[in-house]
Structure 1
Amino acid sequence: MTIHLHEGDLPADIFAPGAALAVDTETLGLNPLRDRLCLLQIADGRGDEHLVRFPAGYDAPNLQAVLADPARLKLYHFARFDVAVIAHYLHVTAAPLFCTKVASRLVRTYTDRHGLKDLVRELLAVDISKAQQSSDWAAETLSEAQKDYAASDVRYLHRMHAILVERLARDGRTEVAQAMFDFLPWRARLDLMGWPDTDLFAHA
């Protein structure tokens, strides 16, 4: 396992065609319109993680092409936020997608703990640290702890995806999960348009 840090963009052709990709982002906060994208993590599940920093804008044609590729499934934990951030800063819709948090809520109805740390612990018996979650991702130099934390956010998504796909099928919830995944880019767009907390389907 190697963590690769890239400035501005991915190298060309580092992922096999059609390979599913785990994706995550680090920002300066939780408001994508205010808190800029600092880092994007991406991995194909073969052992290496790639971190892309954006020191001088968001012109990243190799990364943008990979994220927008309709032949590649993108794996997220809490896709709603990451897809919105990517759309706002990189101007692509990073789909089709699978969200492990949505899948967890559909099949792990015996708990209300659906964070990445809890999910990795239960499904894979691995403990991950979240100590760097609130650190300064715009720092001129990222610490080794920051880089390892960022990489860990994509390190386990392929393995959890395989388990959650089986559980969705077991519980007869594959179809509804897929419908939710298909809608998530639109939910992210609504967030960016100013409706983050509004249920537009509600009567009142």
Structure 2
Amino acid sequence: MAVYFHEEDLPEGVLAAGPVAVDTETMGLVTTRDRLCVLQISDGKGDEHLVRFGVGSAYDAPNLKAVLADPARLKLYHFARFDLAAIEYYLGVVAAPVFCTKIASKLVRTYTDRHGLKNLIEELLGESISKQQQSSDWGAAELSEAQREYAASDVRHLHRLREALVPRLEREGRMALAQACFDFLPARARLDVAGWADKDIFSHE
């Protein structure tokens, strides 16, 4: 198992076929203001790849974009809504189809309100990760080893989490509902960027 660090694009051919786990690190939580700094991606075979974008980046990443935009390759996220918005806004591609472990958790782990990635990994996989670097400066000229390990850990477990969550969705009869939510996520992300982040357009008000 290794963590690989790349500047501005993913090398061609480093990912195996099949689903990929994806996550992003930005300068903050406002997509249009806080630039995309790092994108993490893993094919679930044991390695994680971190792609860092510098200040003033043109986000010309043809190899990475080809993987993200591939409609035949499932993308696994935890809180896909945020990552999809950042990826489309900065890289110009819709990184779908989607499986979101946070939504899956909310649909089947109704016995708890703890749906963070750390909570899921602890309960479903019996492992622990550190979230200490979550709010660190991802735009720094050099990323620390702790930042790189944190970023890698955010995609390291998503394949196994999906394997644990799908049987629960099927058991509770909520797989079709989950899929409908996943299919809607790119549109939900566009609503966020367009100004409806805090408004429920489906409500009567």
TM range (shorter): over 0.9
Instruction: Give the aligned residue type for 1:121.
Output: E
Partner of 2:187: 186
Partner of 1:46: 45
Partner of 1:10: 10
1:107-118 maps to which residues of 2 (within 5 A)?
107-118=108-119
Query: TM-score scaled to structure 1, two decimals?
Result: 0.98
Identity of aligned residues (%): 68
The 1-side partners of 2:143 and 2:66 are apart by 26
1:128-167 maps to which residues of 2 (within 5 A)?
128-167=129-168
Residue 57 of structure 1, CA deviation: 2.5
Backbone CA RMSD of aligned residues: 0.6
Query: Which structure 1 segments of 5+ residues have no match?
Result: none
Instruction: Give the aligned residue type for 2:131.
Output: K
Q: Secondary structure at the match of 2:193?
A: helix
The 1-side partners of 2:198 and 2:132 are apart by 28
Instruction: Give the aligned residue type for 2:174.
Output: R
Instruction: Give the aligned residue type for 2:28.
Output: G
The 2-side partners of 1:188 and 1:85 are apart by 9
Higher mean C-alpha displacement, 165-174 vs 8-17: 8-17
Q: Structure 1 residue runs of 4+, over 6 Å off?
A: none
CA deviation vs aligned residue, 1:51-102 (integer Å, no higher than 9, x gap): 0001232000000010000000000000000000000000000000100000
1:118-129 maps to which residues of 2 (within 5 A)?
118-129=119-130
Instruction: Give the aligned residue type for 1:34.
Output: R
1:76 aligns with 2:77: yes
Partner of 1:95: 96
Instruction: Give the aligned residue type for 2:176.
Output: E
The 1-side partners of 2:94 and 2:36 are apart by 15
Query: Which structure 2 segments of 5+ residues have no match?
Result: none
The 2-side partners of 1:197 and 1:166 are apart by 32
The 2-side partners of 1:116 and 1:193 are apart by 27
Instruction: Give the aligned residue type for 1:79.
Output: A
The 1-side partners of 2:20 and 2:186 are apart by 17
The 1-side partners of 2:40 and 2:178 are apart by 24
